[in-house]
Amino acid sequence: MSTFSRFTPLIQSLPATVPFVGPEAIERQRGRSIAARIGANESGFGPAPSVLLAIREAAAETWKYADPENHDLKQALAGRLGTSPGNIAVGEGIDGLLGQIVRLVVEPGMPVVTSLGGYPTFNYHVAGHGGRLATVPYADDREDLEGLLATVKRENAPLVYFANPDNPMGSWWPADRIIEFAVALPETTLLILDEAYSETAPPDSVPSIESLIDRPNVIRTRTFSKAYGLAGARVGYVLTTPGTAQAFDKIRNHFGMNRVGVAAAIAALADQAYLEEVVAKITSSRDRLSAIARGNELLPLASATNFVAVDCGRDATYAKAIVERLMGDHGIFIRMPGVAPLNRCIRISAAPEAEMKLLEAALPAVLKSLG
């Protein structure tokens, strides 16, 4: 297969890859439809009716570009969070923002610290900008704060990534430990504190806005893709100091946001009653998932997210076989962590009861077939 001859050496050295194989691609590969889409940590509970109304109303103006300054969304976020619009930068989901952050900080060859087995999309961006990953193994299925800090200092790293609550394990650290970690970092190291699952986390695990908002080397990333049910709208934001937030303006796609998605996000913020309802449903679904796992002699791990990691009690080969059989035989899409020892687990997203019933019926048959 021929290709252009003057791509950069970095691009020529990278494999053609994506961090995740999407459920649509799995359907095409297997020639069958997904019956239960419970692997991508989307919200099967969907957005609020008020948000769907806002989407319909905004659709008529989709011929217009979105406001490149994202003024209204920043104002709405600032009002909800009790901060200034200047502390906020908006982007195309956390994934898009992670790419911008890496671009802001990392030059080829620079070390970047993260957890071994943590969010693969972050690693993808680091590789794409020529950074060198310095990884720290999980400790007891939780990201190792002390190990991350020691590695940052040893490598003199300009960037460290840490998710709280964590994906793929669902574990979390209390807010006071997060703040201690941020304060202990060198001022020359930028912390990405990924809070994609903050809405489903225990209140005492999420640092207050004011506790970190004055630290220029801390960027907190958040999203409308999880509890708000807007994964397809691609709306995320960061919380940081005004000076750090303004740096995004130097490199971001100023017309990258879509008008309908922005309208949906603003409407979602205004409907906190629906958010509370969905969080309750997610909590109930986590309990249901845990009960299904225990009923099949598997071990569900405690989770502060919209998914449950389930310890299958064996190795990655066994966990992968469960993933493959659930999809191949029953059309149930789930995922699993990619790195040992985390990959002894499978990961299942919270979902409405119809999907839970499909899983409850299929899992015993799959496990029996595997022996």
Do strands 36-37 and 332-333 pair parallel, antiparallel, or not at all (unpaired)? parallel
The rounded distance, in Å, linking the Cα atoms of 119 and 116 is: 9
b/e string for 150-185 if b means 16 or more Cβ within 10 A? ebbeebebbbbbbbbbbbbbbbbbebeebbebbeeb
CATH classification of the domain holding 256: 3.40.640.10
* pLDDT at residue number 61: 96
At residue 3, does pLDDT exceed 90?
A: no
Q: For residues 162 and 208, state if they share a domain.
A: yes
* pLDDT at residue number 1: 66
* pLDDT at residue number 79: 98
Q: Is residue 334 part of a domain?
A: yes
Q: Of 271, 291, 313, which residue constitutes the final position of a domain?
A: 271
Q: Is residue 1 part of a domain?
A: no
Question: What sign does the CA torsion over 307, 308, 309, 310 have?
Answer: negative
Q: For residues 212 and 67, state if they share a domain.
A: yes
Q: For residues 289 and 365, state if they share a domain.
A: yes
The rounded distance, in Å, linking the Cα atoms of 109 and 155 is: 12
* pLDDT at residue number 131: 98
Which tokens sit at 346? 């499978």
The rounded distance, in Å, linking the Cα atoms of 53 and 220 is: 30
Q: For residues 261 and 279, state if they share a domain.
A: no
Percent of the chain with pLDDT over 90: 96
Q: For residues 323 and 216, state if they share a domain.
A: no
CATH classification of the domain holding 28: 3.90.1150.10
At residue 5, does pLDDT exceed 90?
A: no
Percent of the chain with pLDDT over 70: 100
Task: Kindly report, residue by residue over 149-201, the tens digit of the pLDDT.
Answer: 999 999 999 999 999 999 999 999 999 999 999 999 999 999 999 999 999 99
Q: Is residue 2 part of a domain?
A: no
Q: For residues 73 and 215, state if they share a domain.
A: yes
Q: For residues 83 and 197, state if they share a domain.
A: yes
Backbone phi, psi, residue 44, to 5°: -65, -10
Task: Kindly report, residue by residue over 303-319, the tens digit of the pLDDT.
Answer: 999 999 999 999 999 99
Return the higher-pLDDT residue of 67 and 19.
67
Q: Is residue 3 part of a domain?
A: no
At residue 8, does pLDDT exceed 90?
A: yes
At residue 347, does pLDDT exceed 70?
A: yes
Q: Is residue 4 part of a domain?
A: no
Q: For residues 30 and 149, state if they share a domain.
A: no
Q: Of 271, 295, 319, which residue constitutes the final position of a domain?
A: 271
* pLDDT at residue number 18: 80
Task: Kindly report, residue by residue over 38-53, the tens digit of the pLDDT.
Answer: 999 999 999 999 999 9
Cα–Cα separations (whole angstroms), residue 242 to 101, 214, 259, 367: 15, 9, 24, 53
Task: Kindly report, residue by residue over 211-260, the tens digit of the pLDDT.
Answer: 999 999 999 999 999 999 999 999 999 999 999 999 999 999 999 999 99
* pLDDT at residue number 196: 98
- Element containing residue 9 per DSSP (H, E): helix 9-13
Q: Of 254, 271, 288, which residue constitutes the final position of a domain?
A: 271
Q: For residues 265 and 278, state if they share a domain.
A: no
The rounded distance, in Å, linking the Cα atoms of 243 and 42 is: 32
Q: How many structural domains comprise the chain?
A: 2
Backbone phi, psi, residue 132, to 5°: -115, 120
* pLDDT at residue number 269: 98
pTM for the whole thing? 0.96
Nearest to 259 by CA among 267, 249, 271: 267
The rounded distance, in Å, linking the Cα atoms of 55 and 368 is: 45
Q: Which residues, 6+ apart, have CB-to-CB distance to 208 below 8 Å?
A: 175
Q: Is residue 237 part of a domain?
A: yes
Q: How high does pLDDT run on average in the chain?
A: 97
DSSP 40: S
Q: For residues 114 and 263, state if they share a domain.
A: yes
Q: Is residue 302 part of a domain?
A: yes
* Residue 322: domain span: 9-46+273-370
Q: For residues 203 and 277, state if they share a domain.
A: no
Q: For residues 26 and 169, state if they share a domain.
A: no
* pLDDT at residue number 20: 87
At residue 322, does pLDDT exceed 90?
A: yes
* pLDDT at residue number 215: 98
Q: Is residue 231 part of a domain?
A: yes
Q: What is the mean pLDDT of residues 286-310?
A: 98
